[in-house]
């Protein structure tokens, strides 16, 4: 298991406790400190002294994708798993996921996700409807709902599959979605397990997580790059998957980008709007008809170049709806 660690002293201990307490005890945990400036590295080092399954690797700050790639170079196990340093892994997650791979021979096992903060817990909008029931030895071409499962940390991967397909993380923000979709497509079979295996934190204190920084200029390009990469990859592999992703992107990824438009400078607004219009021009009309009424209105305003009306529409939409 690989955990990038960066400036997460408020949350790291609870994350590592959830990993140390797994019902599957035979594992190695590689902590990659990515140049933390707070006490995170000291906390990580404490766990390596306390538990022989934990190892600490340190590097200069290069981002979570690079940290995961560093961890992959150190990993020796038959299976691969990832966690972010502020989240929580369900105590039986790896017993269930690894057990399923041993049973079926699939390349990936994945499970449900819940969001949480100090006020409570709620369903992850990103994973809605994917993990309501178990599906063993399925595939994204047979069940396209898996296009919504664009996170890497609710999964266990068979290491031989990972190495055969030469999977690596792109070293830019939002690298998760690109790799997760690529892995789903390249896998021979995937096990989908019902119920949550992972709890995805919405931070209440300290620096916001990458996904929470909806209006951050430094991340908007990464969001667009993720959509381009996934769309391009699927377009080369399968027209059916590309059409299915168009719906997912319009229902989630592009809406997040558009939500940022009223909050950024005019030049950035123009870039996002041009990107969204270009995406919409390539999507088939029946895809828009599958969106709910509010989203159809949003894209109608966009395509009609009614920018002022679109701005008003977007201002009424809370960003938390996507998180």
- Phi then psi dihedrals of residue 220, to 5 deg: -65, -40
- The Cα 107–Cα 161 span in angstroms is 6
**Cβ contact 107:189 at 8 Å:** yes
* The pLDDT value given to residue 245: 94
pTM, full prediction: 0.90
Q: Give the count of beta carbons closer than 10 Å to the beta carbon of residue 302.
A: 22
**pLDDT at site 45:** 96
The per-residue pLDDT for 175 is 79
CA-based nearest residue to 153, from 2, 318, 320: 2
Q: Which helix (H) or strand (E) holds 299?
A: helix 293-303
Q: Residue 160: its pLDDT value, please? A: 97
pLDDT per residue of the chain (323 residues) written in tens, 0 to 9: 999 999 999 999 999 999 999 999 899 999 999 999 999 999 999 999 999 999 999 999 999 999 999 999 999 999 999 999 999 999 999 999 999 999 999 999 999 999 999 889 999 988 999 999 999 999 999 999 999 999 999 999 999 999 999 999 988 777 789 999 999 999 999 999 999 999 999 866 655 444 444 556 667 888 899 999 999 999 999 999 999 999 999 998 899 899 888 888 899 999 999 999 999 999 999 999 999 999 999 999 999 999 999 999 988 865 544 55
What pLDDT score was predicted for residue 211? 46
User: Would you state the structure tokens that stand for residue 135, as one six-digit string?
Assistant: 């599906």
Kindly tell me the burial class for residue 169, based on how many C-beta atoms sit within 10 Å of its own C-beta (0-12, 13-18, 19 or more): buried
292: tokens are 């709910």
State how far the Cα of 68 lies from the Cα of 168, in Å rounded to an integer.
Answer: 9
Query: Token pair of 152, please?
Result: 């890497």
Q: Give yes or no for a contact between 2 and 80, defined as CB atoms under 8 angstroms apart.
A: yes
Q: What does residue 125 show for φ and ψ, rounded to 5 degrees?
A: -55, -35
> Are 223 and 178 contacting, i.e. CB atoms less than 8 angstroms apart?
no
The C-alpha angle with vertex 128 and arms to 125 and 132, in degrees rounded to 5, equals 150
Spatial distance between the Cα atoms of 250 and 239, rounded to a whole number of angstroms: 17
The pLDDT of residue 216 is 66
Residue among 175, 166, 144, 167 at smallest CA distance from 239: 144
Can you say whether the dihedral through the CA atoms of 29, 24, 191, 150 is positive or negative? Answer: negative
Which residue, 73, 88, 229, is CA-closest to 162?
73
DSSP 3-state assignment of 25?
coil
Task: Please identify which residue in the block is written with the tokens 């709007």.
Answer: 273
Residue with tokens 């170049």: 305
Cα distance between residue 46 and residue 105, in whole Å: 36
Which residues are within 8 A (CB) of 207 and not within 5 positions of it... i.e. 6 or more apart?
Answer: 7
- Please choose, from the candidates 70, 75, 140, 145, the residue with its C-alpha nearest in 3D space to the C-alpha of residue 107: 140
Decide: 28 and 21 in contact? Cβ < 8 Å: no
Question: Rounded distance, CA 304 to CA 273, Å?
Answer: 12
Q: How far apart are CA 238 and CA 5, in angstroms?
A: 36
């Amino acid at each position: 298991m690989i955990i990038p660690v960066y400036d997460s002293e408020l949350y790291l201990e609870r994350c590592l406790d959830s990993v140390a307490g797994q019902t599957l005890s035979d594992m190695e945990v590689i902590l990659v400190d990515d140049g933390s400036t707070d006490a995170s590295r000291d906390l990580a080092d404490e766990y390596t002294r306390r538990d022989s399954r934990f190892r600490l690797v340190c590097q200069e700050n290069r981002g979570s994708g690079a940290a995961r790639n560093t961890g992959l170079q150190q990993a020796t196990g038959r299976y691969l798993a990832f966690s972010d340093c502020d989240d929580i892994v369900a105590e039986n997650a790896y017993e269930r996921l690894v057990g399923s791979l041993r049973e079926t021979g699939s390349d990936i096992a994945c499970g449900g996700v819940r969001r949480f903060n100090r006020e409570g817990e709620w369903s992850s909008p990103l994973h809605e409807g994917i993990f309501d029931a178990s599906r063993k030895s399925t595939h994204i071409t047979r069940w396209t709902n898996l296009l919504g499962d664009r996170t890497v940390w609710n999964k266990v991967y068979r290491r031989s599959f990972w190495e055969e397909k030469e999977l690596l993380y792109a070293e830019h923000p939002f690298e998760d979605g690109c790799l997760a979709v690529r892995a789903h497509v390249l896998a021979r079979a995937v096990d989908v397990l019902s119920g949550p295996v992972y709890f995805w934190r919405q931070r209440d204190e300290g620096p916001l997580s990458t996904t929470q920084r909806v209006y951050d200029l430094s991340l908007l390009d990464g969001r667009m790059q993720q959509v381009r990469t996934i769309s391009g990859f699927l377009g080369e592999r399968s027209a059916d998957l590309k059409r299915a992703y168009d719906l997912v992107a319009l229902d989630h990824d592009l809406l997040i980008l558009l939500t940022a438009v009223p909050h950024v400078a005019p030049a950035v607004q123009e870039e996002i709007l041009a990107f969204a219009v270009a995406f919409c021009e390539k999507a088939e009309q029946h895809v828009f008809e599958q969106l709910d009424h509010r989203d159809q209105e949003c894209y109608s305003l966009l395509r009609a170049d009614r920018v002022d009306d679109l701005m008003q529409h977007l201002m009424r939409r809370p960003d938390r709806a996507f998180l």
